Amino acid sequence: MPLVKVNGIAVEVPPGTNMIEAAKKVGVEIPHYCYHPHLSVAGNCRMCLVDVEAGGRGPDIACNMAATEGLAIRTDTPKVTQMRKSVMEFLLVNHPLDCPICDQSGECRLQDYYMEYGQHDSRLADAKMGKGKRQDIGDQIVLDAERCVQCSRCVRFSDEVTGTGELRLFNRSNQTQIGIFPGVRLSHQYQGNLADICPVGALTLKDFRFKKRVWWLKESESVCGGCATGCNILVHHQENEVYRFTPRRNDEVNKSWICDQGRLSYKDVTSLKRLTGAKVDGQRAELPEAANAAALLLKGAKVGVVFGAKATTEANWAAVKLVRARLPNARAYVIEGNDPDAFTYQDEILVDSDKTPNRFGAALTASQLGSVGDAEALKAALASGEVDALLVLHDDVVGRLGVATPKALVYVGTFKNATSSAAAVVLPAAHYIEQPGTWINRQGRVQRLRKTVAPAGDSVADYAAVDAIGRAFGGAVIPEMPAAIFQELAAGVKALNGLTLKGLGHGGQLITLFAPSPGVDQPGQAAPAK
């Protein structure tokens, strides 16, 4: 591996590593606009100019420098400072004084670098170029060409990631401006990412526009639950209110992108479809009361447990423990397919056809109870009366199968659907960003959820809701702390052996699955586990 030097600090990096990344490794930040780790290098903003000491020639742009043995750069010379100052001055020549009304302010590279490297006394004598402001260029995006610094990130994104190529930099020199081809509108499902990658406020998200100043927001890590991909996200929230989801970089899963469906799914957190209170026979009830009612229904009945592909692995594990401790004759089912109200879009970039985030988690835990029935088996069992009570986690069983409702149906879920209205007892589960837990995505990657905001209404974490039934039976079936539950889970499920919640880190851990899921492009190492 080549040894490079940044400001005299030696660091070993894989060959071909971008020098911006190499510098980051030793804690040196090289300011940049056009460079993006998941886009090709364009090298047109010149902000990343550094002094090359050895292995190159004169000042050069760091983003276009691959690490080679003996390369040494410096970012702390007066020359570099002067270069940055001049580049900033150029970039700001036509930039409007829009910060007070600009949504980007607070997370704007231009602001940040200006404060650090800028030419604070303006030497500009000529009038600024006026460009198109507030152009409606897509379903999700507003373009303000004046604020653009011509970094071409957005152009490369539409060329390389979505392949739609709607955006271009038009004209030359001072007149250069970003624009969209006439008669074209952004129509792909990844528009939100344009607002994220635009280092300034030229491309802003319509949905988030003027909603909140970003400096108020707190960011918490989570995982998107829209489909089986399990894109890593940051939840931006203030005072228990969620304002947006943004992608969190995970090179193995979603790079730096998320789809618009997932991005806007933050609205579900406060949607009117949320189940915010426990219900018994359609009447509002306290949670322990409802759990008691559920226990009464399940006790002695011929119970079928439908493991939830949208529930956390922990909740499914709690169901396993509940069956083992209290419902010894219960049968396990996992129902394939998507809920009727799931969005239908799918593509080859990120969005999976499977809209359940934890299919493997449900299957893995259900298999702990021996044989696992599928949709047909459940239908048959219900018809024949072999099962006359159901415990359902999240999945809209009624909507998916159209099964006749058994008289005793206990539903643990986040949203109202056909099953929740048919259920005799409803226990409200928190939204996935409101609770800790783990999901296993389509690659077999165990990813961690975190409690980012307080659960809405009376809802509790889904494993706690299942545990409440256990308590109603006479004793908790799982520990209280998420880490302890996961420990138990990791010990009890072979595929998860050896994992710890902390060990999952920010990017999750790949596990060995017993069966590959069809239609998955990056499956985990498939191996039967029995």
Partner 1 sequence: MSDVTPAIKKRKLNTSESIYLVEVLKGMAITMGHVIKNIIGELKGQSTFDTMEYPEVRKPVNDRFKGAHRLTTRPDGKYKCVACMCCSTACPAKCISIVAGEDADDPIEKFPVRFDIDMLRCIYCGFCVEACPKDAIRMDTRIYEINAFSRQDMIHTRDYMRDLMAGDKPEAEQWYRENPQHSPEGFLGEVPPVIP
Taking the least distance from each CB to partner 1, the nearer of 120 and 530 is 120
Amino acid in the structure at residue 250: N
Taking the least distance from each CB to partner 1, the nearer of 26 and 99 is 99
Contacts of residue 287, defined as CB under 8 A and 6 or more positions apart, other chains included, come to 278, 427, 428, 458, 460, 465, 468
Contact segment (CB under 6 A) with ligand FES among 8-16, 44-52, 204-212, 501-509 equals 44-52
Q: Does 466 bind ligand FES (CB under 6 A)?
A: no
Q: Does 48 bind ligand FES (CB under 6 A)?
A: yes
Which residue in the block uniquely carries the two structure tokens 């730096």? Answer: 256
Taking the least distance from each CB to ligand SF4, the nearer of 44 and 421 is 44
Q: Is residue 525 within 8 Å of residue 509, measured between CB atoms? A: no
Q: Is residue 313 within 8 Å of residue 437, measured between CB atoms? A: yes
Binding mask 132-161 for ligand SF4 (x = CB under 6 A): ---------------xxxxxxxx-------
Indicate left, alpha or beta for 27 from its phi (over 0: left) and psi (-120 to 50: alpha).
left
- Give the nearest distance from C-beta 181 to partner 1 in angstroms: 24
Picked from ligand SF4, ligand FES, partner 1, none, the partner binding residue 200 (CB below 5 to 8 A depending on kind) is ligand SF4
- Give the nearest distance from C-beta 336 to ligand FES in angstroms: 46
Question: Could you write out the DSSP letters of every residue in 399-414?
Answer: HHH-PPPPSEEEEEES
Picked from partner 1, ligand FES, ligand SF4, none, the partner binding residue 48 (CB below 5 to 8 A depending on kind) is ligand FES
Q: Enumerate residues 58-77 that contact ligand FES by CB under 6 A.
A: 61, 63
Picked from ligand FES, ligand SF4, partner 1, none, the partner binding residue 416 (CB below 5 to 8 A depending on kind) is none
Q: Enumerate residues 108-137 that contact ligand SF4 by CB under 6 A.
A: 108, 110-111
Q: Which residues of 207-232 are buried (b: 16+ CB within 10 A; e: fewer)?
A: bbeeebebeebeebbbbbbbbbbbbb
Which of helix, strand or coil describes residue 138?
A: strand
Picked from ligand SF4, partner 1, ligand FES, none, the partner binding residue 104 (CB below 5 to 8 A depending on kind) is ligand SF4
Candidates 61, 71, 88, 102; binder of ligand SF4 (CB under 6 A) is 102
Closest residue to ligand SF4 in the complex (CB): 102
- Give the nearest distance from C-beta 272 to partner 1 in angstroms: 21
- Give the nearest distance from C-beta 108 to partner 1 in angstroms: 13
Picked from ligand SF4, ligand FES, partner 1, none, the partner binding residue 211 (CB below 5 to 8 A depending on kind) is partner 1
- Give the nearest distance from C-beta 210 to partner 1 in angstroms: 4
What is the contact surface with partner 1 in residues (CB under 8 A)?
A: 99-101, 105, 133-134, 209-211, 213, 215-216
Q: What number of chain residues touch ligand FES (CB under 6 A)? A: 12
Picked from ligand SF4, ligand FES, partner 1, none, the partner binding residue 46 (CB below 5 to 8 A depending on kind) is ligand FES
Sign of CA dihedral 510, 512, 514, 517: positive
Residue 367: CB atoms within 10 A of its CB come to 20
Decide: residue 352, CB within 10 A, 0-12 exposed, 13-18 middle, 19+ buried: buried
Q: What 8-state DSSP symbol labels residue 251?
A: T
CA dist 190 and 421 (Å) reads: 34
Picked from partner 1, ligand SF4, ligand FES, none, the partner binding residue 152 (CB below 5 to 8 A depending on kind) is ligand SF4
**421, 426, 428, 429 alpha-carbon torsion, rounded to 10°:** -100
CA dist 190 and 247 (Å) reads: 11
Q: Does 200 bind ligand SF4 (CB under 6 A)?
A: yes
Q: Is residue 313 within 8 Å of residue 489, measured between CB atoms? A: yes
Q: Does 47 bind ligand FES (CB under 6 A)?
A: yes
- Give the nearest distance from C-beta 142 to ligand FES in angstroms: 24
CA dist 520 and 228 (Å) reads: 10
Q: Give the strand order in the sheet containing 241-247.
A: 218-223, 232-238, 241-247
Task: Give the binding site for ligand SF4 (CB under 6 A).
Answer: 95, 98-100, 102, 104-105, 108, 110-111, 147-154, 178, 197-203
